[in-house]
Amino acid sequence: MTTVEIAITEQAPPPRRSVLRVLRRPTARVGAIIVAIFLLLTVIAPEIAPYDPYDQDFGAALQEPSLDHFFGTDQYGRDELSRVMYGTRTALFSILVADGIALFIGTMLGLIAGFYGKWVDSAIMRLVDVLLAFPYLLLALIIVAALGPSLFHSMIAIGIVATPVYARVIRGQVLAVRTTEFVLAARAIGGSAGRIMLRHVLPNSFTPILVMATLQAGTVVVETAGLSFLGMGAQPPSPDWGSVLAEGQGYFLTSWWIATFPGLAIFMVVLGFNLLGDALRDHFDPRRRKE
């Protein structure tokens, strides 16, 4: 027993770099501020939005930005600012659902493949290869075609499409960790496979998961909006950014504000997550830190 304890102490993984230290990077700070504003808006949108996002006022249709309507109004007279603010909720929901699905299933698949190896690994990784053989939007479209166009189905589709990416990264991480002596020690003291995976291997794969989840968050927002724009996700009159863009497509040549502001919102949120994700990746990757 003593020998095992010594082994655990000696072979414990190196101390992790604090996540918060990443904020010393200016780009990370900008990204974090954008993401924080986005998250705040999802909470306080009903309090600060000047109008109900669904309220139609045909007398005020297609008004350009003014003091009454900062982002103008759409063809039904709905306030664009309020719709963009409420759109943050759909975007956050899509991150939680799609990124959540991908993270959970991908992590489990990667853990099992990497930990058990042999035919289990081969079977899971061939499945991953097949899913990666599709251009991402094509696979999402096939899944939406099967389930039927709706916001929730588009989120499930995007979650499934992103799953192989997580599975690959986590598998690689598990392969690196599973032969370390603290894992061998955990096996030696009789730890079950599930316990070793969840208590020892998974916590030591936290960093790549965090980086991936942050970078994927931006991708999920764009893809969900993209599917809504194509009519495969959120359906009108939902204030989803992609759906708002699609609805305004017929009017934007004469009313520039209709397409400009929802697109700008998507762009800002994606930029925020990309800046934060890049900074996290650089922060935790010694080679990039050196560069």
Q: Six-digit token pair at 105? A: 């299933």
Give the nearest distance from C-beta 228 to another protein in angstroms. 10
| SS percent in the chain: helix, strand, coil, step 5 | 75, 0, 25
List of residues 6+ apart from 242 with CB closer than 8 A: 224, 225, 226, 227, 228, 229, 233, 234, 262, 266
Give the nearest distance from C-beta 226 to another protein in angstroms. 6
State CA 224 to chain mean position distance.
Answer: 10
Q: Six-digit token pair at 35? A: 């993401």
The whole-angstrom separation of Cα 257 and Cα 263 is 10
**Closer residue to another protein in complex, CB, 51/284:** 284
**Closer residue to another protein in complex, CB, 41/215:** 215
Give the nearest distance from C-beta 144 to another protein in angstroms. 7
**Closer residue to another protein in complex, CB, 173/274:** 274
**Closer residue to another protein in complex, CB, 76/267:** 267
Give the nearest distance from C-beta 195 to another protein in angstroms. 33
The whole-angstrom separation of Cα 20 and Cα 28 is 10
- The residue type found at 85 is M
User: Which spans in 15-116 are helix H?
Assistant: 26-48, 80-94, 100-116
**Closer residue to another protein in complex, CB, 144/185:** 144
Cβ atoms of 41 and 226 closer than 8 Å: no
Residues near another protein (CB under 8 A): 126-127, 129-131, 133-139, 141-149, 218, 222, 225-226, 229-232, 242, 245, 249, 252-253, 256, 259-260, 262-264, 266-267, 270-271, 274-275, 291
Give the nearest distance from C-beta 94 to another protein in angstroms. 13
In this structure, what are the phi and psi dihedrals at residue 190, rounded to the nearest 5 degrees? Answer: 90, 20
Give the nearest distance from C-beta 143 to another protein in angstroms. 6
**Closer residue to another protein in complex, CB, 42/150:** 150
Give the nearest distance from C-beta 1 to another protein in angstroms. 42
- Identify the residue whose tokens are 């960790």: 177
Distances (CA, A) of 168 to 30, 97, 109, 172: 30, 20, 9, 6
**Closer residue to another protein in complex, CB, 183/280:** 280
